[in-house]
A and B are shown apart, each in its own frame.
Chain A
């Protein structure tokens, strides 16, 4: 009742407004921003606009408690959140038009080309001046996540780094003839176990799967150099090297996981048992998939849906993921989260204050409680209470045990988004048999090289 009268009145007043002077009033800028950011204005109330589409839903909202905590500190800064996934056209037009929010939150990959094109605000000077912030809190090379060509543009926050391991359902590995405490150690073993775990019903539908590279790793090319132990871009970022033997061998193995059961069977299975482990209906959470690796998989998400799935955390085994270079205990930090500022922000100092707040132990504890995940920072790893998440000890110790902590910095290119899409294309071409792995990689390499050359042409 109330709703209806509201909207009708609104509608009428609007319809009237188009005719007269009210139109002009409606066309006044809605946002009120402080014009000067000089010294006098520093303590004036300031609004910092942050945009993110990650973990913003009411049931999994990480941001609200962290922002509330920030407001409780009682600074002159107010945070306003735009809860929208940061899409490319949105970013490009907003930055080009000088109307971007003050802080973007996104995975590192999609921002590499923005850093490479001078679109992001360089933070080194500000960070040097900032009190109570020390980049040394970051583990390994994670700090390099937000760097391009030696300049810092972004600060890693929240769920830092990805799951450093392969995880498996112990009882399923036992069924497949593996050791439930050790799991697969090489890609050959992984492929064999995966094959052994495939189960079909009478109609030929897949009802249980082993490992699906798309499930976790498949979504970003950044993750694969760690697996193949070979980069796809030269150190000076001028030459693509997808056309190497290691990548051809790797892609052949990747494709094999779908070719074994059949591409359509795997797709049908994925539609029925979704990838995203935040879902109580996800395949791995329900022990319909035997193994999972990195990326989409966060153990905390599984802890939160135990009521529905009945699968407890201690029935899961963990290990360093298999590697083409056997025995290497490598952890990829490629898919962590980073906060950036576009170059035109008027409130860089204040935005940085908020970004630093997001790296604090308090924020780490909030995220840990909600998702049993946190940033890999030394103070946070010290502060979390692992007894509240039985079975996850290994997960939080792994970064300390690894002998190599990769940073995505090594894999980022000035044409990263194209690199991601063409890598997906190479996977698909191999999977459906349109091209051999070698040819597919050769073709995407040529196309990417063309774009990369163009980028360097504009830099000279």
Chain B
């Protein structure tokens, strides 16, 4: 913290003393100003160099080896990459993950937005409702998984009981290889943190914009599209990126509830990595899988990030 004071108080010198000194001071001041941002991000840079770079390079190197952590790695070139390309469960996991990303990310955004709009209605008890909406996310993971099994259990589970009450046929949710992936996709389409961020964003839409829109005679639905949604775009971008990243790494639910089964129906890519690394002791293979995932997600996220300039509105200016 103290280091950042460098850019703070400049020594008071009489500038009339000599032009050389003046120039020198100006240069030094200029240098300090240029260095200042790097001082701000110095801890971050040190972190990248020390705790991020080594493990990442380590994993990249090992993606070209047979490596079980305990014995020295053995170089095998690109064989891990070739093997994973030929494995039909890798393809299955990749397809499941794509489906998950394509459905649950937009789904989560829409649901989060709707929930936020709903919890923005100034009704009595709002604070309580907002708290209750956050509470499910605070339950310990182990407890939550036990409860999910109860909800989706065939015949007697909560969902099937409801279907039965309406005269519909229950489904074998978790024991059907096609159904099971939809269970996990559906289960995770929820507002969560994204809802909170939209909710916060809604507080920032200046009342004047609504008033102006009203004077123009806009209907509520028009106001939503012409004022509310554009003003929310920075929050949308943020939610989009974080949920994309989360979706590519999703695996806790299936791991606890179905172990990726049946027959790979709920096998998602991150679980495949985890399994190879920690259950099968195939660190090299897991590293190769990770780098494939990394390249795919970088392409997608960077694309989103780059195109964002055209649709995200920053009040602070798009610099």
Interface of A with B (CB < 8 Å)?
88-89, 92, 95-96, 113-114, 117-119, 203, 205, 263-265, 267-268, 271-272, 415, 417-418, 421, 424-425, 428-429, 431-432, 434-435, 443, 447, 450-451, 454-455, 457-458
Contact of A434 with B263 in the complex, beta carbons under 8 Å = yes
Q: Which residue of A lies closest to B68 (CB)?
A: A117
Contact of A267 with B70 in the complex, beta carbons under 8 Å = no
Contact A268 B154, CB 8 Å, known A263-B172, A450-B83, A451-B280 = yes
Contact of A113 with B281 in the complex, beta carbons under 8 Å = yes
Tell me if B69 is interfacial: C-beta within 8 Å of chain A: yes
Interface of B with A (CB < 8 Å)?
66, 68-72, 74, 76, 83, 87-89, 149-150, 153-157, 164, 171-172, 174-177, 259, 261-264, 274-275, 277-282
CB<8 Å pairs between A and B, sample of 5: A118-B70, A118-B71, A425-B261, A432-B262, A434-B263
Contact of A432 with B279 in the complex, beta carbons under 8 Å = no
Complex CA distance for A421 and B70, rounded to whole angstroms: 22
Compute the total of residue contacts between A and B using a CB distance below 8 Å.
Answer: 102
Interface of B is mostly: loop
Complex CA distance for A196 and B245, rounded to whole angstroms: 51
Contact of B279 with A88 in the complex, beta carbons under 8 Å = yes
Complex CA distance for A89 and B174, rounded to whole angstroms: 26
Contact of A421 with B172 in the complex, beta carbons under 8 Å = no
- In the bound complex, residues from chain A placing their C-beta under 8 Å from that of B262 are 428-429, 431-432
Complex CA distance for A451 and B84, rounded to whole angstroms: 12
- In the bound complex, residues from chain B placing their C-beta under 8 Å from that of A431 are 262
Of A117, A205, A424, which contacts B155 at CB under 8 A?
A: A205
Interface of A is mostly: helix
Contact of B71 with A117 in the complex, beta carbons under 8 Å = yes
- In the bound complex, residues from chain A placing their C-beta under 8 Å from that of B277 are 89
14 further A-B pairs in the complex, CB-CB below 8 A; given A428-B177, A432-B175, A447-B89: A88-B279, A89-B274, A92-B69, A96-B69, A263-B176, A264-B176, A267-B153, A271-B149, A271-B153, A425-B263, A428-B262, A431-B262, A457-B66, A458-B71
- In the bound complex, residues from chain B placing their C-beta under 8 Å from that of A271 are 149-150, 153-154, 156-157
Contact of A458 with B156 in the complex, beta carbons under 8 Å = no
Contact of B261 with A415 in the complex, beta carbons under 8 Å = no
Contact of B69 with A432 in the complex, beta carbons under 8 Å = no
Of A265, A272, A432, A450, which contacts B177 at CB under 8 A?
A: A432
Of A96, A272, A425, which contacts B264 at CB under 8 A?
A: A425
Complex CA distance for A403 and B167, rounded to whole angstroms: 56
Contact of A92 with B278 in the complex, beta carbons under 8 Å = yes
Contact of A95 with B261 in the complex, beta carbons under 8 Å = no
Of B70, B88, B279, which contacts A417 at CB under 8 A?
A: B279
- In the bound complex, residues from chain A placing their C-beta under 8 Å from that of B279 are 88, 417-418, 421
Complex CA distance for A384 and B280, rounded to whole angstroms: 40
Contact of B172 with A417 in the complex, beta carbons under 8 Å = no
Q: Which residue of B lies closest to A270 (CB)?
A: B153
> A455 → chain B, closest Cβ, in Å?
8
Complex CA distance for A304 and B76, rounded to whole angstroms: 55
Q: Which residue of B lies closest to A262 (CB)?
A: B172
Contact of B70 with A117 in the complex, beta carbons under 8 Å = yes
> A153 → chain B, closest Cβ, in Å?
14
Contact A417 B280, CB 8 Å, known A117-B70, A267-B175, A272-B156 = yes
Contact of B70 with A264 in the complex, beta carbons under 8 Å = no
Contact A428 B263, CB 8 Å, known A117-B70, A457-B74 = yes
Contact of A264 with B261 in the complex, beta carbons under 8 Å = no
Q: Which residue of A lies closest to B281 (CB)?
A: A113
Of B69, B149, B282, which contacts A454 at CB under 8 A?
A: B282
Q: Which residue of B lies closest to A206 (CB)?
A: B155
Of A88, A203, A428, which contacts B261 at CB under 8 A?
A: A428
- In the bound complex, residues from chain B placing their C-beta under 8 Å from that of A455 are 68
Contact A434 B177, CB 8 Å, known A117-B68, A118-B70 = yes
The 4 closest A-B pairs by CB, nearest first: A264-B172, A268-B155, A89-B278, A428-B262
Complex CA distance for A119 and B70, rounded to whole angstroms: 7
- In the bound complex, residues from chain B placing their C-beta under 8 Å from that of A272 are 156
Q: Which residue of A lies closest to B171 (CB)?
A: A264
- In the bound complex, residues from chain A placing their C-beta under 8 Å from that of B281 are 92, 113, 117, 415, 417
